[in-house]
Chains A and B, each alone.
Chain A
Amino acid sequence: MTAHQKILVRKVAAHGFVVCFLILVLVPFVMVISASFRQGDFAPSRLLPDKVSLDHWKFVLGIPYQEVVNPATGETRTIKAGTPPLLWFWNSIKISLISSAGIIFLSSTAAYAFARLRFKFRTSTLGALLILQMFPMVLSLVAYYVILDFTGQHLKWFGLNTQAGLIMVYLGGISNYIWMIKGYFETIPATMEESARIDGASQFQTFVRILLPMSLPIFAVVFILSFISYMSEYPVASVVLQSSDNWTLAVGANSFLYEQEKLWGRFAALAVLSGVPITVVFLLCQRFVIGGLTSGGVKE
């Protein structure tokens, strides 16, 4: 084999691997999209639907449509969702946006303290946070339930089956974001903040006017990550939110998968729908994920 052939073989092998991997990633995605356009709710036997139907999408978007009840007589009935799935969609966006914004606020202030201030038990607290984040949120489901049940007895809007309650639970999951942001803060030289302090800025002014503008990239990343995770979070939401008009998209979608009948079509349509806000948020935030925000401030 000549050197030329060797390179060719290597190229073919590498491309082959990448193509296989792409198929592995893309096929489920295509299946979900195709399931949302396929007539009926059967487990998909082929990749592309043989009969295209917009019924599932109509259902999800709250548009009434006719369904054949008896193929022999051609008898039909009108179908419309009880709770409009678009409400779940809206709930999800609302909860994810508020939670993500809250997470940015809480984790950036906490990270500032950990990165810049010196206080007792700083390192041990950081270590504790690191360990805590290793346990999934689901493990404390029972605790969340009991706590929200308790708070709900005193504050109606802040108990079980309230979106405020769910947001509060979500805000608890910030430890890994604290670590991420702290890591970023530590790459920013402290002299700029010291200089601001000499200029007369308070700790808070320094944080807001000097450090925050330089930290937009990490905030964008944290916002994207937390938005995605809360858009698709199921276990906690399914326990906290009980009435269907409070549900998020993930809980709502799951409600179509009955033990006796799994309505894959509607489920798939909702799944595709949930991708829309994620994409929008990603595109918006991506603009802030740029380097060089600190360039020129200090000599590296």
Chain B
Amino acid sequence: MSEGSVEIKDLVKTYTDDRGRPTFTAVKNISLHIEDGEFMVLVGPSGCGKSTTLRMVAGLEKITSGTISIGERVVNELEPKDRGIAMVFQNYALYPHMTIFNNMAFGLQLAKKKKDFISDTVGRTSKALGLDHMLERKPHALSGGQRQRVALGRAIVRSPKVFLFDEPLSNLDAKMRVQMRSEISKLHAQLGNTMIYVTHDQVEAMTMGDRICVMRDGLIMQVADPLNLYRQPDNLFVAGFIGSPPMNLLKGKVQRRDGSLFFTEATEKNPLNIPLKGKLEPLASKYIDKDIIFGIRPEHLSDEVKDPAHVPVTSTVEIAEPMGSESLVYLKAGTANLIARIHGEHLFHLGEQVTVQFNLDKVSLFDAATENVIR
């Protein structure tokens, strides 16, 4: 069964002014396949084209070129209602003058469904969402979380093949956001529908997505499942965007000294030197005397030696943020600033000298010119 799969091919969106002159290209040729029943998250900084892409799937924006198919059927020219989609907006977009019941029933009423069927469907959905006691209220009498739940319910009653979410949680407070996040995840598990979810929040992306599509400037940077995205970023942008605190990225060159390869930080005095051993050696050997970027996640800096893949680097503590289970330690090594996520047993002090161990197995090297990972 593939009726909920979404195929985006060579999609381009160029906005035009009134006279049809192009003003801005929001989406620059992207292709993406979304499996039936998959939870795909589109993530990226604002202006990266993720919402525009979603709106084109929804049929709210005209497609400049390329095709979008939902379940084998090209939907480029179809009206939103005929695409088998439902959408949840960031600002809820409820109908303020209608009751909650009518808000949820509006689509079914327009589709001329039978009255019994409508009240039955809306009743069942509202019960599942815990809204059944407020069906006669109007949206302004509801809290933010309840409103977004109504919007969710309005999407569910249409029984779409594909759910589209446009930053649905960013207007909620932190606590509500976490709760709704798990509710949407549960909903996905229950219904098993395809869901496309746009967010700028990488935590939402990581926690909810089956796969994540990272976008920047109208282009797809990488599509992968959350762990692969985190562990094996394709490029510098993904490496920096995913993960909090972000990956440590050091600019420098590969140098050969006494037969071994070193990463040498790009600075005049007191550069940081890190030996490139093990799996890094064959990668680095192609980049001798060339600019690269050395990337390592904060949790791969530790204060104890675990195995031979660890190399020691002397550094000074600049700030320490003990959080109980772990400490975020801001270090200076050479001229480089590093963030380490170290287990919480040791309390670090300002100015303290620490020897941190770099886990070379977990290092990513990037070509400084192309910003792509070196494989």
Contact = CB atoms under 8 A, between A and B. Distances in A.
A74 interface: no
A297 B81 CA distance: 21
B91 A198 contact: no
Residue among A189, A197, A298 with the highest chain B CB neighbour number at 10 A: A298
Interface residues on B, range: 35 or more
Chain B interface main SS type: loop
A203 to B, nearest CB: 10
Interface stretch (A60-68, A160-168, A246-254, A287-295): A287-295
Interface stretch (B63-71, B92-100, B281-289, B345-353): B92-100
A198 B97 contact: no
Interface in B132-191: 138-142, 144, 147, 154, 158, 171
Contacts, number: 100
Contacts of A195: 87, 89, 93-95, 154
Interface stretch (B103-111, B216-224, B272-280, B292-300): B103-111
Contacts of B140: 292, 295-297
Nearest to B157: A199
A120 B20 contact: yes
Interface string A222-252: 0000000000000000000000000000000
Interface string A195-233: 111111100010000100110000000000000000000
Interface of B: 18-20, 58-60, 79-81, 85-87, 89-97, 106-107, 110-111, 138-142, 144, 147, 154, 158, 171
Contacts of A300: 91
Given A197-B80, A199-B106, A299 B96 contact: no
5 contacts: A121-B19, A194-B60, A199-B110, A199-B158, A292-B140
Given A189-B93, A198-B87, A297-B94, 14 more contacts: A120-B18, A120-B19, A191-B93, A192-B94, A192-B96, A194-B60, A194-B93, A197-B60, A198-B107, A199-B154, A294-B96, A296-B96, A297-B95, A298-B89
Interface of A: 118-124, 189, 191-192, 194-201, 205, 210, 213-214, 292-300
Contacts of B158: 199
A118 B93 contact: no
Given A296-B96, A296-B138, A196 B18 contact: no
